[in-house]
Copies of this chain bind each other. A is one copy, B any other.
Amino acid sequence: MSLLVVGSMAYDDVITPAAEARDALGGSATFFAAAASYFTPVNLVAVVGEDFKHEEIAFLRERGVDLDGLTVEAGKTFRWKGRYLANMNDRETIYTHLNVFEQFDPRLPELYRESEFVFLANISPALQHSVISQVHRPKFVAMDTMNFWITGAPDALRETLKLVDALVVNDSEVRELSGEDNLIIASRLVQQMGPRTLIIKKGEHGALMVHGESYFFCPAFPVARLKDPTGAGDTFAGGLMGYLALSGKVTEENLRRAVVFGTALASFVVEDFSCNRLRSLDRKEILGRVDALRAMTRFEKDSFWPAEE
């Protein structure tokens, strides 16, 4: 089924303890669309500047991403520069130049308004709200957010949260949004704000889905050659929403598999800079990691210790 993503497209300068990348294709919508494209066509809404390269457009188009929603404005594309610390987990931002993204006002092409699956990447809650109101009858709407909006636009965020089916965020954001340290209690509080489903990204610690009353946990795939964590969260969301749109039905079983596919896609993207690893994956590679993730958590009931005493 049709999948819409609204977010950023950017050029990143990334410094890791081991290496450095300049003018690397980045942005939440880019990583999301590249990952989701392995499952389903993607309608993309974003804005870039005149400096945006044609080859990037070509790459996404070849991957089945519809770019009618991409506008090119006079000026420069969103630029971010950051440095990762030795643990490859914490990072410091050297600069953020919003450029044309500062005036981003997502307008959906008529066809996009029929999208059944919608992902609102990390943009202002007000813009996320405006996107939701432009879609006619979405089947499943998921959103991301960040501390900047939790503290900077709490009221708008609360309003938008009422309208979504799922929130896809980091554990620290769930704690900040709820004001509660215990993640289990925090999740329930956030569910009461609107989303029935919480998909909590914990980086190397995996992902926890709280769906209604049930919990599902998927560990991170053991990545030995971690090269650049940039975009892992958006790639996770892309694999998740892409799989869900492919399956067409939002059941708990499908949501669980979607979390696993998202985890698998994220495990690839961190093995290289930018979304380079998402340029040439094949289904067998992806399914190989899905199988590995299942094997990592499998255990059988035993006979040593029956419940009857």
Contact = CB atoms under 8 A, between A and B. Distances in A.
Interface of A: 39, 86-88, 181-185, 202, 204-206, 208, 214-219, 222-224, 226, 243, 246-247, 253-254, 256-257, 260, 282-284, 287, 294-302, 304-305, 307, 309
Nearest to A288: B307
Contacts of A215: 222, 296
A252 to B, nearest CB: 10
Given A283-B305, A304-B247, A309-B282, A86 B219 contact: no
6 residue pairs, one from A and one from B, having the closest CB atoms = A297-B297, A217-B219, A205-B205, A256-B299, A184-B222, A184-B224
Nearest to A255: B299
B224 A219 contact: no
A206 B217 contact: yes
Nearest to A249: B304
Contacts of A299: 216, 253, 256-257, 260, 294
A206 B204 contact: no
Given A256-B298, A297-B297, 11 more contacts: A88-B181, A183-B222, A184-B223, A205-B206, A208-B219, A217-B296, A217-B297, A253-B299, A253-B300, A254-B302, A283-B307
Question: What's the number of copies of this chain in the assembled complex?
Answer: 2
A163 B47 CA distance: 61
Contacts of A253: 299-300, 302
Contact of A309 (B181, B216, B226, B283): B283
A181 B87 contact: yes
25 contacts: A39-B305, A87-B181, A88-B181, A182-B224, A182-B226, A183-B222, A184-B223, A185-B224, A205-B206, A206-B217, A208-B219, A214-B295, A216-B296, A218-B297, A243-B304, A247-B302, A247-B304, A253-B299, A253-B302, A256-B298, A256-B299, A257-B300, A257-B302, A283-B305, A294-B301
A223 to B, nearest CB: 7
A264 to B, nearest CB: 11
A181 B84 CA distance: 13
A305 B246 contact: yes
